[in-house]
Chains A and B, each alone.
Chain A
Amino acid sequence: MTDTALPTDVRPGRLGHSTLRPDGVAKVQGTFQFSGDLTADGVLWGATLRSPHPYARILRIDVSGAWKINGVEAVITAADVPGVMTYGLIDQDQPVFASDVVRFVGEPIAAVAANHPDACRRALDAIVVEYEVLEPLTDPEKAVDGSFEPIHPLGNVFRQQRIVRGDQTIEGPIVVEGTYELGMQDQAFLGLEAALAVPDAGGTGVELHVATQWLHEDRKQIAACLGMADEKVRLVLGGVGGAFGAREDISLQVHTCLLALRTSRPVRMAYSRHESFLGHVHRHPCRIFMRHHADHDGRLRRVEARFVFDGGAYASTSSAVLVNGITHAQGPYKCENATVDGWAVRTNNLPCGAMRGFGVVQACFAHEAQMDKLAVAVGLDPLEVRLRNAMETGDRLITGQVVESVAPVQRLIRELAAMPLPGEPVGGHDRDPMRLPGGAGRTADVGNVRRGIGWAVSIKNLMYSEGFDDYSTARVRLADGVATVKFATAEVGQGFVTLAGQIARSVLGVDNVVLDQIDTQVGSAGSTSASRQTWMSGGAVDGACRLVRERMFERVALLHGVDPLGLVIEGTEVVDTVSGLRVEVSEASAGIEFDETFEHHHRPTEDLDEFGQGNCHTAFAFAAHRAVVDVDPELGLVKVVQVATVQDIGRALNPLSITGQIEGGIAQGVGLAVMEEIIQVNGHVKNASFTDYLLPTFLDMPDVVIGLVEEPEPQAPLGAKGVGEPPTVSSTPAVVAAIRDAIGKDLTRVPVRPTDIVFG
C-alpha cells in the first residue's frame, strides 16, 4: 500500500533502523493480553447503569431490586463515593455518578458487581430511576448567546478566548470567506475500555490494571475520588488496543476501583462497543467562520475567524482544544494580523475531548478550504498561493510567538508536487469494478466517474501548551551488558516500546534490552498524546541512558587509566578514541549495576493573555497532503484513490513505525472526510455501533505515498519530531479539496455525505 524507501544500512535494533515491535508477533498471533483479557482468581464482573436521557432531573434511584438478583455483590451510586464526587482533566466538573441531574445519554448513574455478566445485566435492569425529563441543550450557539438556562452549576461556557493581533482595520483588497462544519468523530479504537482492579488486604489501597494514555494522571483523579493518598493507588498499564485521545479521560477507572474496594474482591469491567461510544470523549464538532484578506498577489494580510466547539456535557479538555484550534487558525502561513474569537461550550451532547489532532483538525479543514478559495480569487494555482505564504522558522504566529522549530513548509509543498500520481486511470487497467466509487456495490461504470485532485498543508503543535510542564521520567539500569528500562509511558500502539529499546541499544551499546512493567512505580511520563512521547519519553530514556553511560565510562577510565572524555560507544564496545582501547559493554558493566533516573522537561510555555498573545506552544511540526479521488457525482459516492504526503519529521528514528503512523493517520483523516460521524438527534445517539458508524475498510483505504523531510529539530532530544497527529490533520482537507475539484461544488462540511455531493 505504501511506497517508501527504508534505509537498510543501520545496525539492526538501533536508532534509524526499522526495528519490529517487541509485541508484534504476539499481537498478530492473538496471544497478546489486552486489558479486556485480564482476569484474576475470584474475580467479579462490573457493569454500569447509564442515563437514557440527554438531560433529566433524577427524582429517585431505587437500587433494592438489584440486590435481590442472585450473584450480586455490590451496588453503588454517588452516595458510595468516599472522596471528591467529580473528576476531570482540567476542571473537575464530571460526576463519578450522576445523582441529581443527568446531562448526556450514557452518563453513569450506578454500578454493580456480580459473579457473572448476566447477573450484572439483570441487576442493572432491576434498578429503578425516576426522571423528570428536561428539554436538552443541543445547539451550541444557544450556549454562546446565553439564551439557554445553565445546564451545570459552572455554566454553559467552558472558555471563551480571543486573539487580537496587529492592524484590525485591514480589509481586502481580496476577501474570501466561508462557514465550515465538522461532525463528531469517534476514536473507534478496537480494544474496548477494560480494567481489572485488585484491592489490597483491608481495603487500604488498590491496584488497577487499565488501558489508558496517562497512568499518573489517572491515579491522581482516581485517588481523589477514592479519598486515598496517591501512593495507595497503583496503576499498571493493561494491554492497550488503540487510544487516539479517547483514553485520556477517566471512564471506568473509578467505578472498577470502587467496586473492588467495596467487595474486597478483584473486579473486571469491560465496555461493549455500544457503551464505548457513550463512555468516552469524542472529537469536537465545530462550526468555523473564516474570512481572509489578501493582496492581489495572494499574500495574506489578515485572518478573521470565529470558532464554536461543542464540548458536550462536561469540560474534559475542551478549553485546551479551543486554544489549539484558534491559535492554528492561520495555518502554516505567514499572517501578521488576526481577529479570532473562539468558544468552547457545554451542551447535552456527548462529551468531547482529545482526539488525534486536538482542535487543529478543525482549524485546518477551514483554513485549507480558504486557501483554495483564495487561489481561485487571485487566479493562482493552489500550490502557488500556499508557497507564497509558506511559514518559515523565525516567523511570528498570530499569538506573537516566534516559530523556532524547523519549518520546511516550502520544501514539503515542492516535494509533494513532485510525488508520482496514480499510474492507473479511473477504474484501473484491469477494469476491476471494485476500484470505482461504490466499490463492491457495483454502482458505477467508468463513464459515471470524475477524478479530482486536492491539496492541504498543516501546522501542528507538539507537546502540551499554556504553561503546562508535561515532563517525562525514565529509569535505566545496566548490569552485565543488559539494560533494563523502566517508564510509565503508555504504549497505546504507537511503538514507544520499540523506540525505547532502540535508544537504549544505541546509547549504551547493548543488544539486550529488557523493558520493565509499565506502571506508576516510577515518575510520570505525561500523556501518550500531543505527538509527544518520542520527544518527551524518548528524551527521558535517552537522558537516563546517557547518565548510565557516563557512569560506565568513568569506571572504564578508572580501570584502564584513560580519560573518560575520550570514550565513545561503537557497536557493543566502549572505545577510547585516544588509545584505541576497546572494552565490550558487557565487560564494562560486569558485576555492577548502574542505575539512573532522568526527567525530561521541555522548555516552559506561557498562558495566553486576554488578546490571545503569549508563547503558549512548545514546538511545531508540518505536513502536506495531496489526495486523488474518484467521484460518482450522480450518486455522491467517493473512492479515495491515492493520498501522497510529505511530512516534516526531524529525524526518522524508526522509518517503519513512521510509515505506520502516517498510514493510520491518513485512514483516520479519510474516515472523517467521507464517512465517520456520530449522529445525534436531540441528544440521542443514532449509530453507536460499527454497523452504522462507518470506518474505512481495506477497499476505502487509498494507496499511500510517503516522503519524509529529515531536518533534525535542534530543540528535540533526538532531533525527532512527533509524527502521530500531522497525518490526520491535513489529510481530511486534502480529500475534500479533491472532491470539490472533481465536482465543482463548495463542500463546507465533513464528513461529506452523498447528499452533499448530489444536492449540495
Chain B
Amino acid sequence: MSVLVPTSLADALQALAEHPDATVLAGGTDLMVELNGGHRRATSVVVVNRVPELCTWRHDPITQTLRLGAGVTYGQIERDPIASLVPGLAEAARTVGSPQIRHAATIGGNVGTCSPAGDGLPVLSALNAEVELVSAEGIRSVPFASFMVGPKRTLREPGELITAITVPVVDGWQGYAKVGVRNAMVIATASASLVADARRGTVAIALGSVGPTILRCPEAEAYAMQHANFSERSLAADVVSHCCELVRLASRPIDDHRSTAAYRRHAVGVLAGRLLRRAFPND
C-alpha cells in the first residue's frame, strides 16, 4: 500500500490525478474503522490532513457566508468563533463521538462518508450547504442535497477532492437534535435539524437516519413558514402538531438492529416538534 502525504493543495490534486483510485484519508475516524474491519481495501492512500488550504475557514460578512475547509474538525466547529456563526452545526458537532474523535474527525470526512447517520449532514442539508469539489480538471460546486445520492453514495468522482463546505450565516434560530440509546458516543437512530431564517422568512427541516439520504420535509417546511411569526417567534400549537405529522410522513425509516421503523418515524416527529418550539417558543 502506498501512502502519500502532500503538504499543499496542488500536490494533493496531483497525487489524486496520478492515483485516481486512491483513498483519501483525513481524520481517519471512518476510514480506519473500515480498513481495520476489512470492509474496505485501499491500494494507495492520499493523506490530506497536512494540506493547509483544507484546514482553514473564512467568514465573509458581505455575502453572509461561512466557508469551512474540508479539513476543519468537529472539535473546531463545536467552539467559537465558528460555533456562533453556525450554532446548529455546532450542536451537531457536540453530538459526534467523544472529544478524542471530534479532535480528529473532519467535516469533509463526514461529507465524504455520507452516511444517513452522519451528524453534520442534516444541518448542512437544512442550511442548503454547497459542497466544493476540486480535481486536476477543475472546480465545481454542488448543493449538498444533490451531492448525497444514497447511503454512503455521493456524486464525488474519482480524483476529486472535497475542498470546502459553504453555508450561509443565517439570521434566526438553528438547531440539531439526535436520538440514540446512549447519552453520548452513539450512532443516531433518528435526528433532525431545523433552520428558521428570519430575514428570508423560511423554515427548513432535515432528517437523519430515517431514509437512504438526508431527507428534507418540504410540506412541513411550507406549512410552518405560512403560519410562523418570525418577529414574535411564535407558532400555534396546532400548527406545530400538524408539522410533526408532516415530518413523520416525510420520513422513510427502516427496521434494523438499532431500532424499528415505527420508533424512528415517531421520534423524528417528536424532534421536529421540539425543534420548532425552540425556534418559536411562543404559542
Contact = CB atoms under 8 A, between A and B. Distances in A.
A699 B182 CA distance: 9
A681 B257 CA distance: 9
B175 interface: yes
B182 A696 contact: yes
A113 B42 CA distance: 25
Interface string B252-269: 000001111011001100
A41 B56 CA distance: 48
B183 A439 contact: yes
B32 to A, nearest CB: 13
Contact of A442 (B176, B181, B186): B176
A759 B274 contact: no
A442 B259 contact: no
Interface string A422-450: 00000000000010011111111100100
A700 B263 contact: no
B183 A759 contact: no
Contacts of A444: 274
Contact of B263 (A679, A698, A755): A755
A443 B181 contact: no
B20 interface: no
A443 B179 contact: yes
Given A442-B95, A758-B263, A759-B263, A700 B182 contact: yes
Interface string B40-69: 000000000000000000000000000000
Interface in B173-191: 175-189, 191
Interface string B72-108: 0000000000000000000100110010000000000
A448 B266 CA distance: 15
A440 B183 contact: yes
Given A440-B95, A691-B187, A759 B262 contact: yes
A635 B179 contact: yes
A579 B111 CA distance: 84
Given A697-B182, A699-B184, A686 B274 contact: no
Nearest to A751: B181
B90 to A, nearest CB: 11
B142 interface: no
A636 B187 CA distance: 16
A637 B179 contact: yes
Interface residues of A, number: 37
B183 A699 contact: yes
Contacts of B259: 754-755
A700 B179 contact: no
Interface in A437-466: 437-445, 448
Given A442-B95, A679-B257, A759-B262, A635 B180 contact: no
Nearest to A632: B270
B182 A675 contact: yes
A545 B37 CA distance: 51
Contact of A440 (B94, B187, B262, B274): B94
Nearest to A755: B263
Contacts of A754: 179, 181, 189, 259, 263, 267
B121 interface: no
A736 B178 CA distance: 24
Interface in A693-716: 694, 696-700
B263 A437 contact: no
B266 A758 contact: yes
Nearest to B182: A694
Contacts, number: 96
B263 A442 contact: no
A379 to B, nearest CB: 35
A175 B176 CA distance: 48
B115 to A, nearest CB: 12
Interface string A485-514: 000000000000000000000000000000
B237 to A, nearest CB: 14
Given A443-B271, A634-B270, A694 B181 contact: yes
- Which of the listed residues A438, A440, A758 has the most CB atoms from chain B within 10 Å of its own CB? A440
Given A686-B257, A758-B266, A759-B263, A443 B184 contact: no
Contacts of A442: 91, 94-95, 175-178
A698 B184 CA distance: 8
> B interface, how many residues as a size bin?
35 or more
Interface string A747-760: 00000011100110
A39 interface: no
Contacts of B95: 440-442
A274 B177 CA distance: 30
B257 A687 contact: yes
Interface string B100-129: 000000000000000000000000000000
A297 interface: no
A755 B260 contact: yes
B178 A443 contact: yes
Interface string A112-152: 00000000010000000000000000000000000000000
A299 interface: no
A696 B91 CA distance: 22
Nearest to B38: A121
Nearest to A448: B274
Most interface-central of A441, A675, A691 (chain B CB within 10 A): A441
A225 B187 CA distance: 43
A651 interface: no
B183 A437 contact: yes
B179 A441 contact: yes
Contacts of A445: 274, 277-278
Contacts of A692: 187, 257-258
Contacts of A634: 270
A417 B125 CA distance: 51
A301 interface: no
A639 interface: yes
Contacts of A681: 257
Interface string A623-650: 0000000000011110100000000000
Contacts of A674: 181
A491 to B, nearest CB: 29
B272 to A, nearest CB: 12
Contacts of B266: 758
Contacts of A691: 187
A674 B175 CA distance: 27
Interface in B232-283: 257-260, 262-263, 266-267, 270-271, 274, 277-278
B114 to A, nearest CB: 18
Closest 10 CB pairs of A and B: A439-B183, A686-B257, A441-B178, A699-B183, A699-B184, A440-B184, A694-B182, A755-B263, A440-B95, A443-B177
Given A442-B175, A675-B182, A700-B184, 12 more contacts: A274-B37, A439-B182, A440-B178, A440-B183, A441-B179, A442-B176, A443-B178, A444-B274, A636-B263, A637-B181, A755-B263, A759-B263
18 contacts: A438-B180, A441-B188, A442-B94, A442-B175, A442-B178, A443-B178, A634-B270, A635-B179, A635-B267, A635-B271, A674-B181, A681-B257, A696-B182, A754-B181, A754-B189, A755-B262, A755-B263, A758-B263
